[in-house]
Each structure stands twice: as structure tokens, then as C-alpha cells.
Amino acid sequence: MGRRKIEMEIVKNSSSRQVTFSKRRSGLFKKANELAILCGAQVAIVVFSPGGKPFSFGHPSVEAVAQRFLYQDAKPKVSIPGQVECQQESQVEKLGQQLNGLLKQLQAEKKGGDMVDKAIKAIGKHEYGKPINELNMHELLEMKQSMEKLRENLKLRVSEIEASSSLLLLSTNPVKVADREKLSSQSC
């Protein structure tokens, strides 16, 4: 008898419909798997049987493809599950290192803030114990001198921080000999 073209319409008999669904579902999943393997595509299929039971196929997983579809994430560089986990672990490690660096920076900033607070309190504790708008000219000049001294100390501290950050940057990204020569020729 051979194959014959089947007209596309719902199968009337419920038991035949269930058999047709099962056969077509397995064929559909097989084609999706071939597409994923041959083309490196990410595929997710969810179908519900006539009885309402869900069936799904996904490469690398239904969840991963659904997340990418919903949030329009960039395609992962590797789709092999073991390597994806390895990439995720390295990303977590990098983020942990960034977090530690930021925490150290936060502590340094807190220390700097404490120093500024102490300096402000020291300035506020002038020997006269009056509000600023009640001070005479001599007292205001003394306060101005102490603020200028604080300003100079702050400038020194900022230059120290900039120098240490430059040294840190150079230690993580050393300048190549050719780059040094370019820099020295440009500065002349």
C-alpha cells in the first residue's frame, strides 16, 4: 500500500489521536535533537498531549533555552553541560575576587572617611566654643589656617592613593618594552 498523504485535520478517534500524538511527538523530538547536534542550535519544545500531559525536549535544557528566550541573553560560548558548569564556576570565582577587592576598597574608604570625620571634629572643636558666625576676625583667621592645613593633608593623601592605584595597575598590567619606548618618545 505504501505511504499516502494525510490530510491535515484533527484525528476524530481519541485512541487513534493518542497513538498519532505519541508517534509524531517522538519524531518531532528526534528532529529537534538532530537540529541541535548538527547545527549547534539551542532548541526547546514543550507539547501537551490530548489528555493534558506535558512533554518537553531541550538542548542544552528547556530551562536554559527558556531563560535565554525570556531575557534575550547572549548565546553561551560553549553548549556542553560540563564546560558550561566550568565557565559558571570561573565566573563565580571572578565575581568573588571582584567582591573581595570592592570590600577592601570599601574598608579603605571608611578609614579615609573616619579620618575626615576626626579632622572635621577637630576643626569644630576650636578653643572658643562659639558658633562660627559669632567668631571675631582673629578666630576666623586661625580656623582658616587649620582648614588650609587640612586641605594640604587631603591633597597629599589623594596623591598617595593615586600613586598606589597606578602602581597596582602597573603590577596587574605590566607595560611592554615597546610600549615604554612609545611613551618615552611621545613625552619628548
Tell me what pLDDT residue 127 has: 60
DSSP state of 99: H
- Helix, strand, coil % over all residues of the chain, rounded to 5: 70, 5, 25
Please give the helix or strand (H or E) that residue 46 lies within, else none: strand 43-48
Task: Give tens-digit pLDDT for 30-84.
Answer: 999 999 888 888 999 999 988 889 999 998 888 888 888 888 755 554 455 555 6
Q: Which residue do the cell numbers 595597575 mark?
A: 169
